[in-house]
Structure 1
């Protein structure tokens, strides 16, 4: 009796195992897709970053949820957020995927030249005048590397958004980042077209701009760009007023050339138009030299082979 009772107890777990549905095998690409969607904050943003369709990512995440038997994402028509299970998985998954990428990237050291991808976030002026020329030269020297430059004036978390590096004005970066200068000092120029200035008094001081129609620019998060001036140690801030507000330096330049008012632009944008006479610089003695652009990247993460090669390229151009 006792012997039969013990044997019966030993058989119970086997019976339960047969009743429990087996977990479907997990695919690494599904885990990677899930992490990319969480980092980007949505399927569309993740799809744009990865160069795939939103439906492909959605199917990969749905298959992962089916394999796990758990919902990982709360989805609505306007928002997406990880569930408790999704957040727990993402926290453990992110460093593991980073280790896998580092392991694969380590094979680049065995190649004659690096390969892989390089993603950099940079404001439009930095991308236009500094980063793109550097990237073009770099790509000619390293044909195995794919480069993606996202032009964005907003300050983003480059790690969570999947970027290798970012570019910002001066040294305005977090303390855990390494900052490398990638361009000369900068200078803003106040400009207007001869047609706009015809019949108007030229400003002698920044305060005189209050009598002019200034072309304003708005940051992505809503704030307006303030104009800063300096002469003989005197710093003056100016809040431009005008009928036209735009969202990019290219648009501001077009407006100035069209005679819409006074513009505040980096000298690199307007130099050819100043030389041709299409624009006139105002208050040049009030335009100070400013710090240049800096490339920054995380100090606590080993850069990829493509990133190491790009840093070496930067050092060679100095």
Structure 2
């Protein structure tokens, strides 16, 4: 049973990562072993699950249908096994979390504390930009900004408010007129960031209880915030970031903050999960730690 389950998990890992090498790293096995596992399963099923070339790997039509059906089933089987294994024992097993890159950085200290408290637990923290169906792709928990949490999920705020920052380099400030209001931004060269779904990030602002978004203009569009930061540091225009990602640059004088009154703290990241499932002891222990951390933050602030 366990070997068959690992074969199914191997298929899900390759489908998720789009690469045998990356999936093998996630699973902690060699690329050769992973390829053999997939090959044996394809031989058993009598159908090819992946179309392979020397440069890429993608699900076949049969593979797409297979993954859609086994994703939730594998998650339920793994959960049932871990629940049975943990009865009357210290929490153990694997907890899988899918998060955005920024959210992953936010929760990493809590994950490390959790592993120290429960040495028999393992955590697989996958960070990526796209918003996925965590149930279909075999994750126990998701972590995203509050406004991106699917409505059919139970959400648990981490307790740390998030804030955006509009910034430019000192040289850019010297050479250009400074925007006095978000409505001025379309008149300036802004560094735009493309989201994983292909849409452009709309800059979010709030003042006097009113929230709104601005669709900026600019000559440079990127799909990675870290590269956008480099562009701002090289005087390419105005950027929009999570405050924590540019706090050191602002403090060091490498960036100048703009429109600060228009970017107050907002509800931050939320951990979310499906409600109608039996949850393992490790899952429950992790949620308890999240609630503890949220209470400490509320007390301190």
**What interval of TM-score do these two structures reach, taking the shorter chain for normalisation?**
0.7 to 0.9
Q: In structure 2, list runs of 5 or more residues that go unmatched.
A: 296-301
TM-score by length of 2: 0.81
Deviations 1:216-249 (A, max 9, x none): 1111221110112233355443222222222233
Check conservation: 2:12, 2:137, Cα contact below 8 A. no
Counterpart for residue 53 of structure 1: 30
SS at match of 1:137: helix
Specify whether residues 199 and 81 from structure 1 end up closer, same or farther in structure 2 by C-alpha distance, changes over 3 A only.
closer
Say whether the 8 Å CA contact 2:75–2:135 is kept in structure 1. no
Give the Cα–Cα distance (whole angstroms) in 2 for the partners of residues 31 and 140 of structure 1: 28
Q: C-alpha distance in 2, partners of 1:241/1:92?
A: 43
Mark the CA change 1:223 to 1:93 in structure 2 (over 3 Å): closer, same or farther: closer
Task: Indicate yes or no: 2:58 matched with 1:79.
Answer: yes
Residue in 2 aligned with 1:177? 153
SS in 1 for 2:227: helix
RMSD over aligned CA atoms reads 3.0
Partner of 1:312: 288
- Decide which of 87, 96, 117 is 1:109's aligned counterpart: 87
Q: How does 1:192-231 map to 2 (within 5 A)?
A: 192-231=168-207
1-structure distance, mates of 2:181, 2:128 = 32
Aligned residue for 1:30? 4
User: Do 1:35 and 1:90's aligned partners in 2 also have CA atoms closer than 8 Å?
Assistant: no
Select the structure of larger CA radius of gyration.
1
Is the counterpart of residue 282 in structure 1 residue 258 in structure 2? Answer: yes
Aligned residues: 286
CA–CA distance in structure 2, aligned partners of residues 97 and 278 of structure 1: 46
TM-score, L = length of structure 1: 0.78
